[in-house]
Structure formats: structure tokens, C-alpha cells
Structure 1
Amino acid sequence: MHKEYLNANDSMEDKPIGFFDSGVGGLSVLKEAIKILPNEDYIYFGDSKNAPYGVKSVAEVKALSFQAVEFLIKHKVKAIVVACNTATSVAIEDLRRHYSNIPIIGIEPALKPAVEINDGGKIVIMATPMTLSEKKFACLMEKYKYKAEIVPLPCAGLVEYIEKGIVQGEELNNFLKDKFSHLIYNEISSVVLGCTHYPFIKEELNKVLGEKVKVIDGSLGTAAQLKRLITEKNTRNKKKSMGEVQIFNSLEDEYIIKISKKLLEG
């Protein structure tokens, strides 16, 4: 238990909100948080040195997730967003038990809104192999399997493109066409992005699938949950000015910081 969060003399309002992801993907969630909570300060930690998490073992992902949270704890954050679908699937319950006195928000594939707007076509869920293999995802599938035809689509290799800053172009286009090659495009109603990296390739995905296919991600829902929690706990920052964002990355390379800032501002 981390005693700094129990000190009544500390002003929780002024503390930053922590975000972490296996790399740059969680910036897609941070962008949504900034839109609805612009006055908050944020600390973002991307673990690009160990990306992608989606092909690692459960034990490795748990260990890396705890390391990331410890990094954020040292920066005295008032809430933590696990802006990584794989880490959420594997580690969120353990993290919440261990850090029980700080709000920890996770993310999961936005299957519910996809089912609600479904017009009878297939719902494709793009995600890392680990996210799709975890119990949390199996429970989500079970909940909605009678309401729509849901097709899991493991996308090993896609995170690596985005980590390099490749979010459009012929090479990525061909990669996506190959992933969807066994599906008939006009039978797809929507695509759910089950990895926080994937929203950055929406434009290229629309080129491959066509504009009629709806592309949905869970970033807005996660940001809204963050807002609800800090509002309930009365820890929202009351300053009038825009907040600040600090970006850290385990690679400790200026190039990855430049990519991060470009994705956040884009």
C-alpha cells in the first residue's frame, strides 16, 4: 500500500493522471482524455522497449504492467489508465488488488456499441493474439455471441508498424489487405479496434474496407470512465488553464518521443 495516497494534507486535485501502454498506442486514449479533461496534467509512459505485449507470456505482461505502474506511482499520479488492451486483459485485476487506494481504469474492445448499431453484418474484432486468447475477451464474446456474428482477427505485426510511426502507405495497406483476405468486405458491418495502437491506422483501414464499414474503438468510453471516477472522488483539477503532458518511454530515445508527440498532436 502506498502511503502517499493516504496523506490528508496532500492535494489530490493537483496531481497528474498516469497513462501507460506497451508503446505509443495508448496515446489514442490520452487524446480522448485531453478532449474531455483539458485542465488535467498527464504523465504518459510508453514501454516501446518491450513492445508488443500481445505476443508475450502472461507472466511477462503482468511483470511489465507492474513496472509501468510503479513508474507512474513515483510521479505521484492520482489515477492510472491502463491504456493497453493486452495489459488490461492480463493484469488489471491484479493491479487493482495491489494498488487498492488509487483508481485504475482499463480498456476493452468496444463490442457493445458495435452490437447496438449492427445491421446484420459481421463484426470483426482486430486485436493482438494475447487479447483474443484471454478469459476477459472470452467472457465478452460469450455476452454478445447470440446478438451478432463476431469474428476475432488476430493482427500480430500491426503494432510494430505503428511503433515505427508508419500509419499509412502502401506497405501498411498491403498488410491490412492480407489480414482481411479471408473475409468478404461487403459482409462486414463494423470493425472493433481491440488494441489502442490501431486507431492511428483508421484512415488506411477505411481505404482497405471502404467508408461503409464502421470502425469503432474504446478510447472515448475509457476517457469517460476516467472522468466519472475522478469526479466522484472530487479530485478533478480546478485550474482554468490547459494541463501539461509529460511523455516518457522505456526506449529512452528522442526519436520515439518525437513519434509520440506527432501521434498525440495529429
Structure 2
Amino acid sequence: MSTKNMPIGFFDSGVGGLSVLREAIKLLPNEDFIYFGDSLNAPYGVKSVDEVKELSFHASELLLEYKVKAIVVACNTATSAAIEDLRNTYKDIPIIGIEPALKPAVELNRKGKVVIMATPMTLAERKFHSLMEKYKENADIVPLPCPGLVEYIEKGIVEGEGINSFLREKFSTLKGEKISSVVLGCTHYPFIKRELSKVLGSEVVIIDGSKGTVTQLKRQLLNKDIINNNDDIGKIKILNSLDSKEIIDISKKLLEI
């Protein structure tokens, strides 16, 4: 099989990375994709760095068995903990990560706080602190750890009273503060955008890093001349460590296929 016709692999701690895959399907409709969600071990954001590294290598090895031509680490926590080690180990293929889209939030140059919602590990890692340092002079940045939110989304609960009250409680620490924008620092979180807008109001801009990650994926495929030139619409295969029909059904619903 020509490298151009090989699939692109995606992995995440669960169903969250489907928000990135959704963008990839729009930008690269002729590519085949294989998605592995590690819902059995979700969430990654409360595990140790070593545990996340081990799980990230396991996911990458699984995808490589399917002869993928690139791997997208569609998980902020796994990117923070493992991306450098993955790139140093698998040097022959592009490995694309994701990070909180802080730059576009700062560039909006609006009055108020820039809130970064993320898992505790993403906010604790050196990669995130470097990102904060880079922009701290230009904006009032507030990290907001959201342990427990991934678990809702893993069950397919993306709107309704439960999520709404969870978000209200999280943002209660910022009551009375003007919020200019919210950066979604976990790939699970785009699925609760609608409910988040209800809580914060439509004037607060909500930003996620999916488009930037997918643009980088396309750029690397073009640079290496391995983009699929077929006219056929690509195929999508969804795998999950839970090995249950329910999680595959939730995945398809979130992916809107």
C-alpha cells in the first residue's frame, strides 16, 4: 500500500479526541482515520505523568499495528506528558499534539480574564507553564481545573441540568469577574460548548485548539508528500478499550456519523 493511502491514527483518553477528529474529517475528507479511545482508563488528567506516558505508548503501538502514516495525540493531557518521548521514539512518522489555544484568546485583546479550563495534570505540567509565561504580560490568565467534567462527557452527557450545575459551581469562584474568553484545554470540553454558553452568556468567546491541530496535521502531510489524493470520501474506524457497543454508539453520536 502506498503511504498516501495509509490511514491517520488518532488517540485520546476516551471520546474527547473525537472533537479533533471531527475537524480533521472536514479539512481532510479523503483521508481514512482510525480512532482509539482509551475510555477504560479515562480520565488521564488525574493520573501520574508516568502512567499517562505508558498509556500513550500503548495507544501509539496499537495504532501502528494498523499501519498509520501519522498519529494525532488528540488529548491535551497526553500531549503534555508524552509528546516529546513519542516523537523521540517514533521518528519516521509525524506525531501531532494539541495544546490550549491561548494565543488566539490573547489576540482577541478583549477586556476581562482569559480562563483556561483543563484537567489538573495539563495545568500542572511544564508545557502549560511555559505557555502561561509566554502570554502573562498580555492578558489576565486564570487556570481553572475541572476534575470530574470528563466523566460526564464519557457517558455522553453533554447538556442538561447536571452539566449546567457542574459548570456553574466551577465558575462560581469567578463570580463578579469579567470574563473575556474561555479556552477549552481538554479535547472533551468542546462537546459541552452549548451548555457553557448558557452558563456564561453568549458574549464570552469560547475557543478550542482543534482547528490549529488539524491545520498542523495537513501541513505535515503536505510537507512529507503523503496526503491522500483520492477523490473518494475516507473511511472512519472507531476503537475503544472498553470494548462495548455503548461507547462506540456514544462515539458515533459525538462524531455525528
TM-score normalised per structure 1: 0.95
Q: Which SS does the other structure have where 1:87 is aligned?
A: helix
> What do residues 54-73 of structure 1 show as CA deviations (whole Å, max 9, x unaligned)?
00001100000000000000
Distance 1:105 1:58 in 2: 19
- Contact 1:85/1:108 (8 A) holds in 2: yes
> Residues of 2 paired with 1:197 and 1:171: CA distance?
16
Which residue number in structure 1 is paired with residue 6 of structure 2? Answer: 15
Partner amino acid for 1:106?
Answer: G
Q: Please say if residues 27 and 264 of structure 1, whose CA atoms lie closer than 8 Å, have aligned partners that are also in contact.
A: yes
Aligned with residue 118 of structure 1, among 109, 117, 127: 109
RMSD, matched Cα: 0.9
Counting only pairs closer than 5 Å after superposition, residues 190-229 of structure 1 correspond to structure 2 as 190-229=181-220
Matched, 1:265 2:256: yes
Return the alpha-carbon distance in structure 2 between the equivalents of residues 161 and 185 of structure 1: 27
Identity of aligned residues (%): 70
Q: Secondary structure at the match of 1:136?
A: helix
Cα distance, 1:252 vs structure 2 = 0.3
Residue type of the partner of 2:91? S
Q: Mind listing any 5+ residue stretches in structure 2 that lack a counterpart?
A: none
Q: Deviation per CA, 1:111-170: give whole Å up to 9, x if none.
A: 000000031210000000000000000000000000000000000000000000000000
Alignment coverage as a number of residue pairs: 257
Cα gap change, 1:153/1:252 in structure 2, threshold over 3 Å: closer, same or farther?
same
Q: Secondary structure at the match of 1:180?
A: helix
Identify the residue that residue 126 of structure 2 maps to in structure 1. Answer: 135
Unmatched runs of 5 consecutive residues or more in structure 1: 1-9
Give yes or no for contact 1:118–1:190 (8 Å, CA) kept in 2: no
Alignment of 1:147-158 (within 5 A): 147-158=138-149
SS in structure 2 at match of 1:88:
helix
Task: Tell me how far apart the structure 1 counterparts of residues 177 and 226 of structure 2 sit (CA, whole Å).
Answer: 47
TM-score, reference length from structure 2: 0.99
Distance across 2 between alignment mates of 1:119 and 1:237:
40
Structure 2 counterparts to residues 43-192 of structure 1, below 5 A: 43-184=34-175, 187-192=178-183
**Which whole-Å deviations, capped at 9, do the CAs of 1:151-209 have from their partners, x for residues lacking one?**
00000000000000000000110000000001136600000000000000000000000
